Structure 1
Amino acid sequence: MSRHLTRQIGKLLEWLLSNVGSMMLSLLASLTVWIAANQSLNPVEIAELDDPVEINVVGLDEGLIIVNDYPKTTRVTLRAQRNTWPSLSAEDIIATADLSGLGPGVHTVRLDIRVVAQAIVVAANPSNVRFELEEVRERTLPVQLVVNGDPATGYRVDEPVIDPPEVTVRGPRSRVELIGEIRAEVSAEGLREPLTATLPVVALDSDGTPVEGVTITPAEVDVELPILQVAGFREVAVRVDADVRPAPGYYVPRIIPEPQSVTVQGDPEVINDLLVIETQPIVLNDLTEDRLITVALDPPPGVSVVGTQTVDVRIIVAAQPGFNVVEVPLQALGLAEGLAAEFSPDRVVVSISGPLPILNKLNPEEDIIASVDLTDLGIGEYQIEPQVEIASGELTTEELSSVLVESVLPTLIDVRITVETRAPGQ
């Protein structure tokens, strides 16, 4: 039995050995046909991604810093089958520049491009990136405050307070060593009071040119700039010496000088007790509108005004509010022909308010019209709300709009409409 099995196996092996060539050729032909068919349906395509790929820089020593402007992205060309391309994006590509072990100097680093999708990297542009590395340097430097301009006459700038007084500068050694000054600037032009401000600071070289590429911490400082008055000078309020008489029905609510204070100079014993400085007298009569007048100042003996010797005085004139109550007869509006109307009561009491000069121009009997609208009403009895209108040919539209009807009494009028009775012969 075993001898027979051995002969059978031997014949099978002999047959396989004699036919293995034709079998391999058949398999290879089938595989070739499958690949060709697959390539025709889903061919391989080579193209560049639409979006650039961000370059990740890793491995930079903590004591070094990149000082050159290197490319932050690269364009990547891939090889992938057609049905893969719709799902490919820049997020599927990882481009890495590894700076591990590199010291100060200039280095050209080859990018490591990896694809997380079913694709092959064909090319990258750029494929190599140039890095210039320098040692990091830190310095602590005082802040210098530059005060531009002069305060108002009679004032001076006292010693400023800067918080913090020092800042830390960090950056490439070559740039940090260029720094000659950390500066903040503030204007004191025309100041009369202390100034508090938060100011940016800038690093400058010995020529006053800003040094770029360094980090300043903090980037801003708080500054208090004291402004003191010089002995022999004093700021005092301006008081207007005015005899102003408005026209009847008007009043003067305010008189405003501009400026409202001035600086005076003189004997300290005199000006220390001086609280105000008056203007030359202003006399005006029958004012009905605002006035702007330039008037000279009138300092006391031994005192002089610093700068301008005049002030502008604005005199505000306003109409006095008025109120009036008048009795007005009622008129019928829209009454149909052949009808007659009786009102009870036949007069209304109208309360109006507005600027007194305008109310004084009104003629109550002619300019205040009270009416009852009877449009489309027939014979019968009704209660109707009276309407009041103010119209005057002597007043402008603006003046009329300033007059308000506060109330009309009574609020309802009893109306009786009947057939009009005509005398015989009419």
Structure 2
Amino acid sequence: MMRSIDRLLSSKLFLKVVSVLVAVLVWFYLASDRGTEVVRTVTVPLEFLNVPVDMSVSSGVREVDIQVSGTRETAFSLTGTIASQIDLKGLGPGSHRRPVQVILPSGLRLVEVSPPFVDLNLIRLASRVLPVRMLVPDGLPPGYRLEEHRIDPVEVTVKGPEHLLSSLENVWVAPTLEQLLQEKDLTLPVVSSADRDQRTPFMIEPSEADLSFRLVRGFPRRAVPVRVELKGDPGKDFQVEAVVVDPPELTIQGPLESIERIDQIFLGPIDITGLSADVTRVVMVEDLAEDVQVVEDPSVRVRILLAERTERRLFTKVPVRLSGRSVYPGWRVEPSEVSVILEGSPSDLDAAEAKGSPIDVYVDVTNLVSQKITVPVKTTLRAKGVSLADIDPPNVTVYALTE
């Protein structure tokens, strides 16, 4: 009996029957489970639609969790086509709260959205053209210095939030110390902040710039202007018109902390007392710091240019005399005195004043018929080297004396 059962269980026919029964049972299980509704949660990126021109979106939410229900087959096969959107049409700059819109494929039903609303800011964008500067890293080895560098392009267009862009004065290329020590030309990204690790809200075009530089050894150099101090005054008929310094700048070298304390080099004082002609003096630079020296020639040519000095001098109560013959026995002048201003060199004016009356003021009554008439004042200069600048009044009234 047992042998018969063993032969039955190990027969190929029995195994085929069992396989068919198992396959039928699995088919019935799957067919019955296919219509069962399940709930599933998926995380999808948030899309912003109709973003206004020249604005950017700032929001702390970039993904949302969407819970959907559907048959097992639908829930697992169609979740990749779910989308979440926020429509920004018609919105202006500022803070807004907007609902999340969910796009579902056919066969799925929305259960829940988290979060259902999103707080966001619309920020107005602006653009500016800014210069590109080089940010020199700390830690150059002793004796090394950057003597010159060139950036191409020298300016870039920066676009970003208007309120942040207004605070930018320039943008940077920021080589590392290792890059500089290789002493090779570099192509570097243009950044808006000296902090290399800071995320930037700006778009920069072009985004890269070429940097060429020269790394040299030795003390740093600096060009400083030369100033001249004058002592005394030139002759009284002259004044200093210009002081020409050649060269106008000198290059000094020394420890950085020492040359940074020297803003300009003073020469002199040069004594110009009594000068009456242009002069040229050669002056040696002295009294710099002990550890600072002038590169190349420490002498400076100073040319002092003079100009003739003129001034104006007022003479008051100058009498007005009568000149010429008239049909009347006499005339009376009102006013009988005038003020005159003479112009010339101080020496000529002094000489004119020493003579007592440097100018003759008169009116010509020849051929005058009217008994009262206003006539111009005439003058004759008695002094040399001076000229008449003004007379007050320029006209006087004369009255005929009939008796």
- Name the TM tier (shorter chain): 0.3 to 0.5
The TM-score with structure 1 as length reference comes to 0.38
With the length of structure 2 as denominator, give the TM-score of the two structures. 0.40
